[in-house]
Every structure is written in structure tokens, then in C-alpha cells.
Amino acid sequence: MKASHKAIIILAIFFLIIPFSSFARGFTSSEIDELVHQSMEMMPDQAGLAVAVIEDGKIIHSKGYGTLSVESTQKVDEHTLFQIASNTKSFTAAALAILVDQGKLNWNDKVIKHIPEFTMYNDYVRENFTIIDLLTHRSGLGLGAGDLMFYPPGSDFTINDVLSSFQYFKPVSDFRTKYDYDNSLYLVAGEIISRVSKQSYDEFLQQNIFDPLQMDRTTAAFKGIKSKTNIADAHITEKGQLKKIPRYSKGEGALAASGGIYSSIHDMSQWFLLQLNQGKYGPELKQQIFSPNRQAEMWKPYTVIGFEPRPRPAYKWHFGGYGLGWFISHIHDYSIISHTGELPGMLSSMIIIPEINSAVIVLTNSSPGGDSYNTISSAIRDEWIGRNRWDYLTNTKEQLGWRIDAEERALKEVWDKAKISSVTKLKAQEYLGTYQDKWFGNISIENRSGKLWLQSERSPQLNGEMFQYEEDVFAVKMSYTDMPSDAFVTFERNEQGIPFEIKMKGISPYIDFSFDYQDLELIKVSP
């Protein structure tokens, strides 16, 4: 046999014996440090962040950077608690998976089997809406429908309000035909967990996930945090300066099921090791939280988000979909399981690549400068899957700068035009009164010391002075400023020329979809 033939055979045997994951490229711990430092230098509007990286089933990096707050010198470490926002959804799905394994429910159970008072926009959808439908953003409802009950924080809406609200929304697509991200239906999923398990949502997660995995600092309710030290504060950038803001509260019990969890990268690493080990944990992986079958179901794409049969060579994105609490995509011949989370001043990014047994977690406490959370995780992901390095940091900074400039220009145009608020000068007496929406409740238009003012009854922070923009159109400068929330208010007149209805929409072109003003139908009920 020729030497060249022997070499080919030896090489073939070598490739058969050595696991493919051994060839996966990746950043070293020191290179991750450099990546983070570059991020914090290039995008300085950041207080702190934390990064954990798992490669080939082993934690190779777990560090904190920066400070808990701009008002503190305490450093972020691997045990610092952050709000993980919508990354909570994977825990909600896993809790349901545990109940499926226990035989207490089925993924295809109708929601009304467990919550008879659950409503939907028509009888067919209500009667056929399943637990899987709660988790997969294919309800037919519009983006963020119902989120205004909890944005801004401080409202008095309950899970019962959520359950009864869906009958009042107008669908934007046919049932199970289109992806539109929602949060409210995850709250319904949290209520199912509570009713079936006879425990609160946070108690069930504590007993069945956090305690077994020794996620000692993690909780689904702020009141459950044992030590109130080493918790990251939330920050936003205002007029070029980083500003501390109150941490957003998603509520407790079922109201936490879409985005209420507090955790650290140390604890989240345990969660991701569980994911990589298909629900197994502990010494020699002899214990199980959920079965491999349940994980396969959670990582299955139920709702198509996009498909590209001829992807660009530089970025071979073939498809994207949503599973049960996870985004699923296929990039450069790898299955990517991921999710992000965003609350005012808190951002998180999490990516799993099952084929190479690897994952990355990034938690930050600043926005929008903390948008680099996604650049760090994406850079690490691309290194693993063999995509040529892309300068995410520069691109993100440019995009963020462009977005901020565009938003500032759009808002300046509005506020330059909307200048008059005086009730007397506007002869605005006819606008005053109470306007009622069937799911959101009352909004009043008031004369407040001579100024025209909007005030929500059930969401106290949703209030602000009204400035005339056009005839019967007003711009409201909301008192809540932790996120852009200013809105246009348009008065509709009846045949007698009397204002009888209000229509609302966000002013900022980049307003968060959770301010779903467009879903309100506010009819005047009293002068």
C-alpha cells in the first residue's frame, strides 16, 4: 500500500474517532475578556454585564464586568442577579413539560379544559386553543396585544383581567397562520401551571427547577430573593448620560411567566447544562427534570418565522421558527436554539448549539448601549459555527446611532409642531370626559390647572399633558420616561360633530411593541 493511501486511511480513522465538537473553533477566556472590554469601550453607555460560556459541555468562562449601578462601585460578578426578561419563557415551557412528563396534562390539551373562563376573539379559536398555541405566537392576535396592561409598570391588572381580555381584540391574521410575538398568552400558561400543580408559578419553578439545580440565587418573584445584595440596577441613556431607573416589576405568580425571573450567569449555566444534557443533571447525570422527548418537543419549530432556500453565502441562514419558549434557526448547517430578553434597562441574550454541546449567556443592566449583549453572543456563536468574523460591535454602534438620530428627528418634528396645551385657548371643553375601553378600562381627558391632560385609571403612570398637533389630533408627553411612551391621540366625531371616541398610537417610530395603543377602542361614556 502506498504511503499516501495509508495517510488517507489514518486521517479517515482519525476523523471517525475524534468527536466533531473537538474541532469547533471558539474564543479563549482571555479573548472573551477582550471582546467584552472592546464592547464597553466602544459603547460606553453601559454600567455592567456578565458572560458565561459553555464549550463541549464544560463551563470555560463565567465572569462579571463593570458595576451594579452608576451610583455604586460594587463590581458585577458571576453571582450578580439580573432580570432575564423574556428568557423566562423557556422556564415556563419547561414547567409545562414537567407536568406533561408527570401525566398531569398534554401539550394538546385545550386551554378551556384547565381554565374554563379563558376567552378568545371567536368561539372556534377559544374552543380549539391548546397549550402549544399559548407558547408559539401563532394566535392570530397582533404583536404585543394586551401588553399595555403591564407597560408601564404599576397598573392594577390581574391574571383574571388577562383571561377575559382576549375576546375584545381584533385578530390580524387567521389562527395558526402567522407569527406575531406576544407576552400575554404566556401569562395564561403560567396560570395553567398554577392550577394544575396546585402551587403558585414561582413555587413550582422553585421546587421543580431552581432547587434541584442548586440555582440558589434564582427566583421568579422578587420577594423570593434571599439576599437583597448584589442585584444589578437597571439603566437607560438619557441625553447622552447613563441614568439609573427603578427595576421593572412583572408581578408575581402567573404574571411573572412571560418575563419575571431574576438570575445570575452562575445559575443560568446550570440551566444550560441541563438543556445540553437533555434534562439530566447531578452526579453522573442520574437525575432528570424533564425527559429527552419533552426537550425535543420544546426545540421543535411550530411557527415559521422565515425561510430562505438560497441563503447568502456569507451568512447561510436557512430558516427561523419558534418552538416552545425558544427561537429555532438553521445557520451554516447548525441548529441554533436561542432567545433574547428586554425590559427597561435590562437586556439578555442566550444561545445554544446542541451539535457542539455549547452555549453562551450574556446579561446586561443598560439600554440601549447594552445592545452589545447581542453582539458578544453572536460573535461567540459565529466562531463556533465557522462563519467569518463580522464586526458586530461597529455595526451595532452605527445602527444604534442611526436609530437614535432618526428617532430624535422624528420626535423633534412632532414637538416643534405641537405647542399649545391651554384648555381655554383650544376651546377644548368638548374633549373633556371619560373614555372607556372594554379590556383596558377608563382613560380620562381632564382640565388640570388649565392644561389638557390624559390620565389612565388603572395604569397610573400612563398620564401626560396633551399638546395640539392638528385639528382633533394631540400629542401626549407621557410622565413615564423609562421607555419611549409618548402617544398621538385622535378624537373621532359623531354625526353631530361631537367627539365620541379616541384612537391612539405611539409617536416614536421605534416605540416598543408592548405599548399597543392601537388596540384600544376608547368610547366616551361620560362628559
* Three-state SS letters, 111-155: HHHHCCCCCCCCHHHHHHCEHHHHHCCCCCCCCCCCHHHCCCCCC
What global pTM score does this model have? 0.92
The reported pLDDT for the residue numbered 311 is 83
Of 207-211, 345-349, 381-385, least confident by mean pLDDT is 381-385
Q: Is the pLDDT of residue 12 over 60?
A: no
pLDDT tens string 379-426: 999 999 988 777 777 877 788 888 888 888 999 999 999 987 777 777
Over residues 183-207, mean pLDDT: 97
Q: What are the CB-based long-range contacts (under 8 Å, 24+) for 499-507?
A: 499/430, 499/431, 499/472, 499/524, 500/524, 501/435, 502/435, 502/443, 502/445, 507/410, 507/411, 507/414, 507/475
Contact 255, 150 (CB under 8 A): yes
The reported pLDDT for the residue numbered 6 is 39
- Written as one string, the DSSP assignment of 203-247 is HHHIIIIITTTT-TT-BSSGGG-S--SSBPPEEEEETTEEEEEPP
The mean of the pLDDT values for the chain is 91
Q: Which of 188, 211, 131, 185 is nearest to 203 (CA)?
A: 211
pLDDT tens string 442-455: 999 999 999 999 99
Is the model more confident about 401 or about 477? 477
pLDDT tens string 176-191: 999 999 999 999 999 9
Cα separation of 440 and 511, whole Å? 19
Reading the block at residue 362, the C-alpha cell is 450574556
The reported pLDDT for the residue numbered 374 is 86
The top-level CATH class assigned to 417-526 is mainly beta
> Any idea how long the chain is?
527
Cα separation of 289 and 275, whole Å? 10
Is the model more confident about 404 or about 355? 355
| Domain range summary for the chain, segments of one domain joined by + | 12-140+175-390, 417-526
- Phi–psi pair at 6, nearest 5 degrees: -60, -40
| Residue 25 binned pLDDT confidence (cut-offs 50, 70, 90) | low
Q: Is the pLDDT of residue 15 over 60?
A: no
The reported pLDDT for the residue numbered 21 is 37
The reported pLDDT for the residue numbered 268 is 98
The reported pLDDT for the residue numbered 314 is 76
DSSP H stretches of helix in 346-489: 372-385, 392-417, 423-426
Burial class (CB in 10 A: 0-12, 13-18, 19+), 4: exposed
Q: Is the pLDDT of residue 213 over 90?
A: yes
pLDDT tens string 317-340: 889 999 999 999 999 889 999 999
Q: Which of 309, 323, 310, 315 is nearest to 378 (CA)?
A: 315
Cα separation of 521 and 517, whole Å? 9
Contact 287, 273 (CB under 8 A): no
The reported pLDDT for the residue numbered 2 is 44
Of 299-313, 414-428, 483-497, least confident by mean pLDDT is 414-428
**Single-letter amino acid, residue 57:** G
> In 10 A of CB 373, how many CB atoms?
30
Q: Which secondary-structure segment (H or E) carries 248?
A: none
List, in order, residues 6 or more apart from 324 with CB less than 8 Å away.
93, 96, 97, 132, 135, 136, 297, 298, 299, 300, 302
Q: Is the pLDDT of residue 18 over 80?
A: no
Of 112-116, 196-200, 410-414, least confident by mean pLDDT is 410-414
SS3 107: coil
SS3 49: strand
Of 65-79, 266-280, 299-313, 483-497, least confident by mean pLDDT is 299-313
Reading the block at residue 300, the C-alpha cell is 421543535
The beta-strand segments (E) located in 406-498 are 433-437, 441-448, 451-456, 463-470, 473-478, 487-493
| Residue 48 binned pLDDT confidence (cut-offs 50, 70, 90) | very high
Contact 104, 196 (CB under 8 A): yes
| Residue 111 binned pLDDT confidence (cut-offs 50, 70, 90) | very high
Of 4-13, 170-179, 315-324, least confident by mean pLDDT is 4-13
The reported pLDDT for the residue numbered 370 is 62
SS3 280: strand
The CA dihedral of 283, 84, 111, 201, to the nearest 10 degrees, is 70
**CATH architecture, domain 12-140+175-390:** 3-Layer(aba) Sandwich (3.40)
